[in-house]
Amino acid sequence: MEIRSPSGHIYVIGNELGHTEKFRFYQCTAESSPACILKIARQAIWNGLLDREAFILQLLAEGALELESEYEKVKENDKKLNYHFFFPKIIETFIAKEQENSRISIMSFAHLADNLSELTPLSHLISRENVYVDPRTSAWIMGKLLTLINFIQGEKILINDLSGDNIFINRREHYVTIFDWTGAALNIGGVSKYLIADRIAQIAKGTIRLLGGNPTTKKLPESPQLIGNNYEAYLAELSAGKISSAKEAHQRFYDLVLSAWPREFYQFTTIKKED
Amino acid sequence: MGTKPGSHEVFEKAHREITTGGKSATHVGEQRHKEGKGLHDLIDPKGNGVIRVAKSWLEPKDDGTFYLLRGTAMLEETRLDTTGSMGNNVDIAMRVLPKTFKLLAEGPKAILGRYDTQMITAIFGDVTDNYILCRSQAETDERIAEQMSYMVPERDGGDSTEDPQYGLFGAAYLTFSTAKQLGLKTYDFTVTDADARDFVTLKNLIRVFGPEVMEKVESNGHNFNRGLPSTKEIVSDLLKTTHAFVLSVNGSKANYWQDIFGPERVIEISDLNLLPEMKAVIIGLTEGVLELGTVEDYLTKEAGLSQASAARIKRAVAGIPIGAQTRLENFDKIPLRGDIFAQKDDLWPSKKAGDIEEESDSIWK
């Protein structure tokens, strides 16, 4: 099945990947990008959410590019910020008259994966693969999520869905990305400290869960990688909503991680769940 | 409210006449105040029956039925801060009124084209001022400008916190609209650079709306069995019947208002001369008439803005609940211009305009 946008681009639509109350998602191939998603509003009344999502993704893309350019001028190594990995690239958004005037957005994940199957929602690790991750694996996921919050805070954007269903990873490349931005909000004057602390707490609780720990007691399972309880204590502090600066949370997190484990690529590692 | 609607020419003429000789837009009202006459009854919140009414206009026909003259009444209320540096906001609002009306109500590209646009203008000050609130009637013609001229902005305001919550109270509990009866929401804007006190007092409610304020509130379908509402509770009730927004001047006190209205309803405005464009785009996005992808095109072509100004407005409004009106159940069902009603007080038509071809000549001429 194909669909032609008003601008004349043709998209080949594949299998339905999922749906929510408001949208359906299909695998899709664009001329310029093979790993795409076609997202369509199930009713025209939800068009506005896709309209804003497209705008936010464009803002994020511009913001990421600008920051990369600024960083390029001052950096003393070959590192990159790579903030563009945190979100899909919007290819096009349009109203499809033949689809009862529902809005369609075409988004590319090609910068994150050669194939969409390489991207996994965090929730699937526990619910479908029956695994947890080890502490060192959790560290790069948590660290990147803190980087993400710090980045979008600077863009005055608040992300509302930080559930495991909306956080995707490419386990081979260590990419972390947010799949759906329709729930994101633009806040003038910046995002309040309270909301930042809340979002940091959400991802810390998610990380504790991903480790097989208990988000209520904030206890982590024992691991030879955990020497002392610094990691557990810091995740507990973050999950209690005690830190309202993404920059501070991010800095302290990396200081802790770098003091605990060597700075080297660490392969994605899971631990089988015990029944 | 007459049968002849306003137009941008009407409002340009009214503005010229009111401000002739470099006079302030509000010199009439300010002169009344100096003479000790108090507020004009039409803009005194306690005047003219207290409750502001935005009803659809049903014109009688020879056969005893009625037809909807201009579409369902859609109320737009704007509440202007007139304290301190905000003191000339009525002057600005009257100057840009022709453009506001044109963008919202005139011609085929009018944002509220399917409705009968009715406007209330209100101004607020501080409880230490002589007048905490002035609030016009819901009007659709030159009376919008006329009633603006009766306002008394005191340009003072006491401390830095002001008292728009009395105006919000009026909008929430002392307003009647056909749109609300039909299940739609009307539009409400508060323009300010200050925050508000978090409460209203009975003493000040009586001072603003008169000794029968509570009876009026009750007669309009509300009660406060659990005591007077806080500012946040007033706004919560206001949001049940209106798409309400705060236009925060230069983003001042935005965090305060985000807590009260929700972050998606607080919008930064840097230049009050852009009030018409801001309101048009917010309403257009809410009504589904505009989408973010078309906002810049609309603002440059229909409002004559520069690309840079259009882009700034788009960025400012992008966070609002886009399409919120379209999600209301009766959005596509409301009576339209020309629909026939059996009785003057009927809410829903007995015949749609499209069903009565033989009568259409008389309706449209």
Is A10 inside a domain boundary?
A: yes
Q: Is A184 on the interface with B (CB under 8 A)?
A: no
Residue B312 has pLDDT above 90, yes or no: yes
Is A31 inside a domain boundary?
A: yes
> Residues of B with CB below 8 A from A54's CB?
292-293
Cβ of A51 within 8 Å of Cβ of B322? The answer is yes
Q: Is B250 on the interface with A (CB under 8 A)?
A: no
* Count of structural domains, chain A: 2
Per-residue pLDDT of B272-289, as tens digits, reads 999 999 999 999 999 999
Is A114 inside a domain boundary?
A: no
Same domain, A126 and A262: yes
Q: Is A192 on the interface with B (CB under 8 A)?
A: yes
Q: What is the model's pLDDT at position B166?
A: 98
Q: Is A46 on the interface with B (CB under 8 A)?
A: yes
Q: What is the model's pLDDT at position B356?
A: 53
Is A89 inside a domain boundary?
A: yes
Cβ of A189 within 8 Å of Cβ of B258? The answer is yes
- Quote the Cα angle for B53-B57-B62, to 5°: 145
**B306 contacts B300 by C-beta, under 8 angstroms:** yes
DSSP 8-state code for residue A238: H
Same domain, A138 and A63: no
Residue A21 confidence class, pLDDT cut points 50, 70, 90? very high
Same domain, A93 and A143: no
Residue B87 confidence class, pLDDT cut points 50, 70, 90? confident
Task: Count A/B contacts: CB-CB distance under 8 Å.
Answer: 69
Mutate to test the interface with A, among B322, B329, B332 (most CBs of A within 10 A): B322
CATH (domain of A104): 3.30.200.20
Tell me which residue range forms the domain holding A260: 119-272
CATH (domain of A144): 1.10.510.10
Residue B364 has pLDDT above 50, yes or no: no
Residue B361 has pLDDT above 70, yes or no: no
Cβ of A47 within 8 Å of Cβ of B327? The answer is no
Same domain, A89 and A222: no
Nearest CA in chain A to B250: A189
Q: Is A54 on the interface with B (CB under 8 A)?
A: yes
Same domain, A149 and A258: yes
Q: Is A8 on the interface with B (CB under 8 A)?
A: no
Cβ of A54 within 8 Å of Cβ of B292? The answer is yes
Residue A188 has pLDDT above 80, yes or no: no
Q: What mean pLDDT value characterizes chain B? A: 93
Neighbours of B299 (CB within 10 A): 26
Q: What is the model's pLDDT at position A228?
A: 85
Cβ of A186 within 8 Å of Cβ of B318? The answer is yes
Cβ of B323 within 8 Å of Cβ of A46? The answer is yes
Q: What mean pLDDT value characterizes chain A? A: 93
% of chain B exceeding 90 in pLDDT: 86
Residue B157 confidence class, pLDDT cut points 50, 70, 90? low
**B149 contacts B18 by C-beta, under 8 angstroms:** yes
Cβ of A54 within 8 Å of Cβ of B293? The answer is yes
What's the CA gap between B283 and B287, in Å, rounded? 6
Per-residue pLDDT of B171-211, as tens digits, reads 999 999 999 999 999 999 999 999 999 999 999 999 999 99
The encoded tokens of residue B209 equal: 């709306």
Is A19 inside a domain boundary?
A: yes
Query: Comparing A214 with B354, which gets the higher pLDDT?
Result: A214
Query: Comparing B262 with A275, which gets the higher pLDDT?
Result: B262
Same domain, A100 and A125: no
Q: Is A163 on the interface with B (CB under 8 A)?
A: no
Nearest to A16 by CA among A49, A44, A38: A38
ipTM of this complex? 0.80
**B299 contacts B309 by C-beta, under 8 angstroms:** yes
Residue B359 has pLDDT above 50, yes or no: no
Three-state SS at A209: helix
Which of A57, A79, A108 finishes a domain?
A108
Residue B54 has pLDDT above 80, yes or no: yes
Three-state SS at B79: strand
Distance from CA of B253 to the nearest CA of A (A): 9
Cβ of B323 within 8 Å of Cβ of A192? The answer is no
Is A186 inside a domain boundary?
A: yes
Which of A108, A142, A160 finishes a domain?
A108
Neighbours of B270 (CB within 10 A): 14
All domains in chain B, ordered by first residue: 28-363 (3.40.50.410)
Q: Is A48 on the interface with B (CB under 8 A)?
A: yes
**B186 contacts B118 by C-beta, under 8 angstroms:** no
Distance from CA of A6 to the nearest CA of B (A): 13
Same domain, A102 and A125: no
Q: What is the model's pLDDT at position A31?
A: 79
For A165, list phi and psi in degrees, rounded to 5.
Answer: -75, -20
Residue B254 has pLDDT above 60, yes or no: yes
Is A85 inside a domain boundary?
A: yes
What's the CA gap between B217 and B209, in Å, rounded? 10
Which of A58, A85, A108 finishes a domain?
A108
Cβ of B248 within 8 Å of Cβ of A189? The answer is yes
* A187 vs B263, B285, B326: nearest CB: B263
Same domain, A88 and A163: no
Per-residue pLDDT of B36-47, as tens digits, reads 999 999 999 999
Per-residue pLDDT of B112-132, as tens digits, reads 999 999 999 999 999 999 999
Q: What is the model's pLDDT at position A257?
A: 95
What's the CA gap between B150 and B134, in Å, rounded? 9
Same domain, A220 and A141: yes
Q: Is A181 on the interface with B (CB under 8 A)?
A: no
A37-41, A236-240, B157-161, B166-170, range with the lowest pLDDT: B157-161
Q: Is A91 on the interface with B (CB under 8 A)?
A: no
Distance from CA of A168 to the nearest CA of B (A): 25
What's the CA gap between A145 and A178, in Å, rounded? 9
A5-19, A97-111, A180-194, B292-306, range with the lowest pLDDT: A180-194
Per-residue pLDDT of B18-33, as tens digits, reads 999 999 999 999 999 9
Same domain, A90 and A181: no
> Residues of A with CB below 8 A from B248's CB?
188-189
Residue B353 has pLDDT above 90, yes or no: no
Cβ of A49 within 8 Å of Cβ of B293? The answer is no
Per-residue pLDDT of A244-271, as tens digits, reads 999 999 999 999 999 999 988 999 999 9
* A188 vs B316, B321, B327: nearest CB: B316
What's the CA gap between B190 and B205, in Å, rounded? 19
Same domain, A146 and A249: yes
Same domain, A153 and A63: no
Could you tell me the pTM of the whole model?
0.89
Is A113 inside a domain boundary?
A: no
Q: What is the model's pLDDT at position B363?
A: 32
Residue B4 has pLDDT above 80, yes or no: no
Residue B215 has pLDDT above 60, yes or no: yes
Residue B261 has pLDDT above 50, yes or no: yes
DSSP string, B278-338: HHHHHHHHHHTS--HHHHHHHHHHTS---HHHHHHHHHHHTTS-TTTGGGSTTTTTS--TT
